[in-house]
Amino acid sequence: MVREQLIPRGIVDARVQAAMQTIPRHLFVEDALHAQAYGDFPLPIGEGQTISQPYIVALMTQALGLQGHETVLEIGTGCGYQAAVLSHLCEKVYTVERIKPLFIKARRRFDRLHYLNIVCKPDDGTLGWPEHGPYDAIIVTAAGPEIPPPLIEQLADPGVLVMPTGARLSQDLIVLTKKNGRTTSRCIEAVRFVKLIGDHGWKE
């Protein structure tokens, strides 16, 4: 997966490569999908949600530029795979999942696989998790019409936020950087994600 899908497409961060080489991606999908877990495509995880294709996980993670000391907020725990990748690359991961059954399954995976630096809760992710902020990096694994203002507020200065934004069926993957009180944004890829539902996202 790393050799054939990630490196040829520009995933050059050796720490990201190592994390994705280490994590057993098949343990984050249902048993019937184990044989497809390392393929270059998203897979269903239930509740109308998906686990992103490996390349997109790697691209978003690489864009954060993690060095190992950071506190990271993830919005959209899903099956827990993205949080697991982050846990290898930073000091602490806080992750929020709106859908209770997915949250329960993800928390059980974290416990079973001994990801002790991941803390998760069920809630509206568009509100962030202000109690533990500000965050050195924020990653949003669902697409909204714009970046939720509470997330920008909870981003440290300096800090980096990665999120897909745009229309319901197609989006741009945006990297927002905060530095010296100013924010700048750039697009790194055209993508298609599930909808970010919440007070500062799509209503349904």
Q: What is the pLDDT of residues 104-124, one digit of tens each?
A: 999 999 999 999 999 999 999
What CA–CA distance (Å, rounded) separates 54 from 158?
A: 28
Whether residue 89 lies inside any domain: the answer is yes
CA 103 to chain centre: 14
Whether residue 196 lies inside any domain: the answer is no
Whether residue 199 lies inside any domain: the answer is no
Read out DSSP for 78-94?
TTSHHHHHHHTTSSEEE
Please give the angle made by the CA atoms of 157, 160 and 163, to the nearest 5 degrees.
135
Q: How many domains does the chain have?
A: 1
- State which residues of the chain have pLDDT below 70: none
Do residues 160 and 179 touch, judged by C-beta distance below 8 A? no
**Interval 49-61: pLDDT, tens:** 999 999 999 999 9
pLDDT at 204: 82
Query: What is the domain range of residue 141?
Result: 2-191
Do residues 58 and 3 touch, judged by C-beta distance below 8 A? no
Name the pTM for this structure: 0.97
Handedness of CA 133, 19, 58, 184 (dihedral sign): positive
Whether residue 65 lies inside any domain: the answer is yes
Whether residue 202 lies inside any domain: the answer is no
Just list the catalytic residues.
Answer: 52
What CA–CA distance (Å, rounded) separates 20 from 86?
A: 10
Whether residue 15 lies inside any domain: the answer is yes
Whether residue 197 lies inside any domain: the answer is no
Whether residue 204 lies inside any domain: the answer is no
CATH code of 125's domain: 3.40.50.150
Write the CB contacts of 29 (distance below 8 Å, at least 6 apart in sequence): 36, 37, 43, 45, 51, 79
Structure tokens at 112: 């079973």
